[in-house]
Structure 1
Amino acid sequence: MYASSPDANRRSRLPAARRYDPDRRARILRATLDVVAEHGVAGATHRRIAAAAGVPLGSMTYHFEGMELLLTEAFTLLADTVAARFTERLAAASNRDEALEAVVDLVVDESWATPQTMLLSYELYAFAARRPALQSVMRDWMDKSRAALGRHFAPETAKALDAMIEGLSIHRSVDRDPADRAAVRSIVERLVGEGAAGRSSVGSSIPTSP
C-alpha cells in the first residue's frame, strides 16, 4: 500500500492559503452602500454586507474593526464619488450659460442625482448627526461642491446654488409634481442674477444682484 511521505503529511496539515483578492476591501465598501440603500443604516449587518460583497463573513472583521468604521469609510467613498462627478460635470462647462445648464443637470438628470444617491444622502445625514468624523466628511463634500461651482460663480452665489441643488433634489425625489427642467432653470437664473448668463467665461466672479 502506498504510504504518504512525512513532507506530504506536513503540507496537508498547513492552513489553506488565503485567496488573492486585491479588490475585496473596496468591494465590501461598495456592497455596504448597496445594503444601506436597500435596508438603511439600521438594517446594515455584517452578514448582509458579506453576502452582497460575495466574501466570507470573517472578511468583515479582518478588514474593518467595527460596523461604525465600515459605515464611515463607505459614506466617505460615497461623498468622494459624488463630489468627483459633480466637479467633472461643472468642469465641462466652458462659459456661464453652459455652467447654468450643468447646474440644472445636477438637479434633474438622474444620471447625477440617482435614486440610490438620494437614499444614501438621507442615511448619511442621519448617521452623521452625532458623529463628528462623518460631519467632517460632509463638510469636505460641501467644500468640493462649492469649489466646483466657484469656477463659474461668485462665492456667495456658489453657496446658494449648492444649497439649492441639494434641497431641490430632495424635494423632487418626493414631490408628486416635481419641477421640470424649465422651472429649475428659472430658479437657477434667479439665484445667479438677471442677465448673468453668457456675460462671462470660466473663472470669473460676478456678484449676485442685490
Structure 2
Amino acid sequence: MSGGTRRKDSDRRQRIIDATLHAIAAHGVSGTTHRRIAALAAVPLGSVTYYFATLDDLVIAAFLQLAEHSSKAFADRMAMANDRDSAKDAIVAIIAGSIWATPRTLLLSYELYAFAARHPPVADVMRRWMGNSRVALERFFDPLTARALDALVEEIGIHNSIDPYPLSEHAIRTIVDRVTEPTCGR
C-alpha cells in the first residue's frame, strides 16, 4: 500500500480543528470531547489523537485559529482606513457589523476567556489577539486610546449579544467619538 489514503484526506487535521470550534460553540469547552470532535469532523476517533496528543492541545489549536481569523478580519477592516475619521468608521463597522461580533464568534470568545483563566499558556493566544488589534488601532490613535478602543470593541459586542436593547450604530458612533475626542489640553 502506498499510503495514498492519507494524501486523499490532506485536510483531515483542519477538519478536526474546525469540528473542535463547532463542538465548543455547541457544548462549551467542558462538554467538548474527542468523540464529539471525531463525529463532527467525520473521522475515526483515533485520528483526533493522532494529530493532537491531548484535548487541551486541540482546544488551544482551535482557539489560536479563532484568534488569528478574528485578528485578520479586524486588521483587514482597519487597513481600509486612511485617516482618523475613516478609522473611527472602521471601528463602528467592526462593532456594529459582523466583522467580530457574530453570535458564534462571541460565544467562542466567552469560552476562550474562561479557558484562558484556567490555562495560563492560553493567555498568550489572548495577548496576541489583543496585541494585533492594538497595532491596527495605533496607526490612528495613541496607545492608551487604542487600548480603550480594543476593550470597547469586545465589550459592546458582548453587551449587545445579551442586551434586549442593543446599542444602535448611531449610539456606537457617539461612544467611539467620545473615546477618541482630543483632550484639549486636559
TM-score interval, normalised by the smaller of the two chains: over 0.9
Larger CA deviation: 183-192 vs 107-116 = 107-116
Corresponding residue to 1:101 among 81, 89, 104: 89
Question: Is the 1:41–1:123 contact (alpha carbons within 8 Å) kept by the matching residues of 2?
Answer: yes
Q: What does residue 179 of structure 2 align with? A: 191
Matched residue pairs, number?
185
Is the contact between residue 157 and residue 208 of structure 1 (CA under 8 Å) also seen in structure 2? no
TM-score, structure 2 as length reference = 0.94
Contact 2:134 2:150 in 1 (8 A): yes
The residue type equivalent to 1:168 in the other structure is I
Residue 30 of structure 1 is matched in structure 2 by: 18
Residues 39-48 or 178-187, more deviating = 39-48
Give identity over the alignment, percent.
50
Q: What's the CA shift for 1:17?
A: 5.9
Equivalent residue, structure 2, for 1:133: 121
Report how far residue 127 of structure 1 moved.
0.6
Residues 137 and 146, structure 2, Cα contact 8 Å, conserved in 1 = yes
1:209 deviates by 6.7
Aligned mates of 1:208, 1:69 — CA distance in 2:
49
What corresponds to 1:147 in structure 2?
135
The corresponding residue for 1:169 is 157
Within the candidate set 159, 170, 180, 2:147 is matched to 159
Moved over 3 A (4+): 14-19, 207-210
Measured on the aligned residues, the alpha-carbon RMSD in Å equals 1.8
User: Whose Rg is larger?
Assistant: 1
2:78 aligned to which of 90, 93, 112:
90
Q: Deviations over 1:43-101 (max 9, x none)?
A: 11111111111111110111000101110111011111100110000001112211111
The answer to whether the 8 Å contact 2:138/2:146 transfers is yes
- Note the C-alpha offset of 1:106: 1.1
CA distance in 2, matches of 1:136, 1:178: 31
Cα 1:131/1:116, change in 2 over 3 Å:
same
Normalized per residue, which structure has more helix? 2
Inter-CA distance 39–58: structure 2 relative to 1 (3 Å threshold): same
User: 2:127, 2:30 → 1: CA distance?
Assistant: 23
State TM-score, norm by structure 1. Answer: 0.83
Residues 1:79 and 2:67 are matched in the alignment: yes
- Structure 1 match to 2:33: 45
Secondary structure at the aligned position of 1:41 is classed as coil
Gap change, CA 1:121 and 1:208, over 3 Å in 2 = farther
Contact 2:20 2:32 in 1 (8 A): yes
Amino acid paired to 2:115: F
CA pair 99-16 structure 1, distance change in 2 beyond 3 A: closer
- Which residue does 2:111 correspond to in 1? 123
Please report how far the alpha carbon of residue 151 of structure 1 lies from its aligned counterpart in structure 2 after TM superposition.
1.1
